[in-house]
Structure 1
Amino acid sequence: MSLGEGGDSSADSSTGIVVVFYRPDAACVRRANRYANAGHCVVVDNTEKLQSPEQLGLDERIVYVANGANLGIATGINQGVEVLLKTGCASALIFDQDSEPSCLLLATLPELLEEQTRRGKRVALIGPAYEDARLGGVAPFVRFGFLKLQRVSPVGAQPLEVDFLISSGSCINLAAWQEIGPMDDALFIDFVDLEWCVRARARGYAVLGAPGLRLAHELGGEPVRIFGRQYPSHSPLRHYYLFRNAVALIKRSYIPWTWKSTELVKFPFRLAIYGLFLQPRLSHLRMAFVGIWHGLTGRMGRLDRS
């Protein structure tokens, strides 16, 4: 059950919600308006064209931040969290504009976070398992391992310690946020959530998966089937950021070698998939190699395509 138009979740009032917009459609606005019933809600809009909240049709209870430019997912989340910190929120639920959380998720994640911190556990964030029907259903949680990620089935009643969670659907402990620091603006998009989770764990905080909760989430564009297996696809531009940020993170000393080794193993397979199975092939390959070069040379932030 999703949060209804007039419904109310039992999420604590000290929990806020951050949604990052980019060229939203009416469905995105409708989803954001539902969050206004769940507590403090901030919408950060990275759309290039400036619009007022009234023009978009946003609920008047929502705090609207219009950037007038695509500043990236990291900056958008950071801006939203800063607003929630000023309102005194203790935690922040983060959602993509197309996320469809249930009432159960909205209410339970903050409660689980509070329960864990009450027990004295240092928790940075907690999040559900995501479910993408196009890619075979519920995805496992992930721990890093040399040359291969360790996949952890989302089963049981107790939160599971993992190495990272995707940002959409996660509930961040804002007391921990102030010690760990904001998301890395320079990454712009891709691996933003992973880098923050690694930084959190390096400071002694736990990243927890809630195995009993699910979030419907579509990872990337329409999947491509290769030798009977579905792989998420992205635009050539997204592949630029994926390769650039992977290289940039591999160069950073605090990123564990367990993750670095896994990414290095994946590089040739990703290049083969993008170059052989995605159209236009040359564009995908070109942007991937430009990303690798920019990662090596330290060119970060938003790609200037001029």
Structure 2
Amino acid sequence: MVVFYNPDAGCIERANRLAQWCRCVVVDNTPGREASARIGAQLDASIVYLPNHENLGIATALNVGIESLIADGFRIAMLFDQDSDSTLQLITGLADVAQAAIARGEPVALVGPAYEDARLRGLAPFVRFGYFRLQRVIPDGDVPIDVDFLITSGSCVNLACWRDIGPMDDSLFIDFVDTEWCIRAKSRGFRVLGVPWIGMRHELGDEPIRAFGRNYPMHSAVRHYYLFRNAVALLKRGYVPWTWKSTELIKLPVRILIYACFTPDGATHVKMAFRGLWHGLVGRMGPLRSR
């Protein structure tokens, strides 16, 4: 399945290509019925198109698509952002790993590839949580690697455990949705596996900025609101491990410094970050509403 939000021609082309290889569900968060009609007319006839006519957030969109696949009897679901490049090798490779684990009776919730963003640092490592810093695991070898979370795009969900883990958290709307679901899955005894021999091209965020000698992924000020708000929300939850919490407590002030010193219109980014901190503390969740 693919989640749309104001897709361009390339996004539609990628969804149409995906439909040639497997059952494709597109959940569209683009606002407006006219936009939905225009987008739907450009999609392959085999695609199941589910327009929301408004931006309900990535979590809700994923839940809608996954419930559609469960209702149709599918046992696994591949999840993609609209800007991720899927290949037949990626789809079949991850499906084989997931189905083999399921056949062995292993409690695997999610498998996913290594992803590459050439704008940042090339092939990104897999991640395990550690106290005050992430443990980065080089994607190498021919054996799946136990990790603590995977990005949503390119991941393959074992739908047999969907009810046991529960859906994506709608209240988060966007940012840390994948992290929270993986943490919840692991807290309930399920495994999350990185597949080092399968790769995917994926651009993380907007154009990165250079700060402290390295490239950092960049987002809009509104996205930074959600990032800070949801980080605080997860810091308050008991099932979230202190390994993740300790690392995030270190990273939050560093992000503020980067926004203030290295981001165009840094004052707006800092303002939205502090607004997110406050809303996270008082429990104001869901979409950000204009006053």
TM-score, length basis structure 2:
0.97
Please list the CA deviations of residues 172-214 of structure 1 after superposition, one character each: whole Å capped at 9, or x if unmatched.
0000112111000000000000100011111111000000011
Equivalent of residue 31 in structure 2, options 48, 67, 74: 48
Equivalent of residue 17 in structure 2, options 34, 50, 59: 34
Q: Is the 8 A contact 1:53 1:64 kept in 2?
A: no
SS in 2 for 1:44: strand
Take 1:267 and 1:54, find their aligned partners in 2: how far apart are those partners?
Answer: 38
Change (3 A) 1:54 1:302: closer
SS in 2 for 1:106: helix
1:133 and 2:127 equivalent? no
Match of 2:152 in 1: 167
1:288 and 2:273 equivalent? yes
Amino acid aligned to 1:35: L
Take 1:38 and 1:101, find their aligned partners in 2: how far apart are those partners?
Answer: 10
Take 2:243 and 2:68, find their aligned partners in 1: how far apart are those partners?
Answer: 35
Equivalent of residue 137 in structure 2, options 136, 147, 152: 152
Following superposition of structure 1 onto structure 2, how do residues 1-306 of structure 1 map, counting pairs within 5 Å? Answer: 18-50=1-33, 51-52=36-37, 56-306=41-291
SS in 1 for 2:240: coil
SS in 2 for 1:109: helix
Please list the CA deviations of residues 238-297 of structure 1 after superposition, one character each: whole Å capped at 9, or x if unmatched.
000000000000000110000000000111111000011101111000000000000000
Q: Is the 8 A contact 1:166 1:194 kept in 2?
A: yes
Deviation at 1:55, TM superposition (A): 5.0
Change (3 A) 1:141 1:105: same
Moved more, 249-258 or 112-121: 112-121
Amino acid aligned to 1:52: A
Take 2:277 and 2:252, find their aligned partners in 1: how far apart are those partners?
Answer: 10
SS in 2 for 1:38: coil
Change (3 A) 1:258 1:52: same
SS in 2 for 1:124: strand
Moved more, 233-242 or 116-125: 116-125
SS in 2 for 1:291: helix
Change (3 A) 1:141 1:283: same
Take 1:163 and 1:169, find their aligned partners in 2: how far apart are those partners?
Answer: 16
Change (3 A) 1:55 1:110: closer
Take 2:178 and 2:244, find their aligned partners in 1: how far apart are those partners?
Answer: 14
Take 1:192 and 1:226, find their aligned partners in 2: how far apart are those partners?
Answer: 26
Change (3 A) 1:55 1:161: closer
SS in 2 for 1:37: coil
Please list the CA deviations of residues 81-124 of structure 1 after superposition, one character each: whole Å capped at 9, or x if unmatched.
01100110000000000110222101110110011122221100
Amino acid aligned to 1:128: P
Take 1:228 and 1:181, find their aligned partners in 2: how far apart are those partners?
Answer: 40
> Structure 2: 5+ residue runs without aligned partners?
none
Amino acid aligned to 2:30: T
- What value does the CA root-mean-square deviation take over the aligned residues? 1.0
Aligned length, in residue pairs: 289
Q: Is the 8 A contact 2:21 2:88 kept in 1?
A: no
Deviation at 1:53, TM superposition (A): 6.4
> Structure 1: 5+ residue runs without aligned partners?
1-17
Deviation at 1:227, TM superposition (A): 2.9
Take 1:239 and 1:221, find their aligned partners in 2: how far apart are those partners?
Answer: 12
Moved more, 87-96 or 31-40: 31-40
Runs of 4+, deviation exceeding 3 Å: 53-56
SS in 1 for 2:119: helix
Please list the CA deviations of residues 40-85 of structure 1 after superposition, one character each: whole Å capped at 9, or x if unmatched.
2110110012222675400111111111110000000000001100
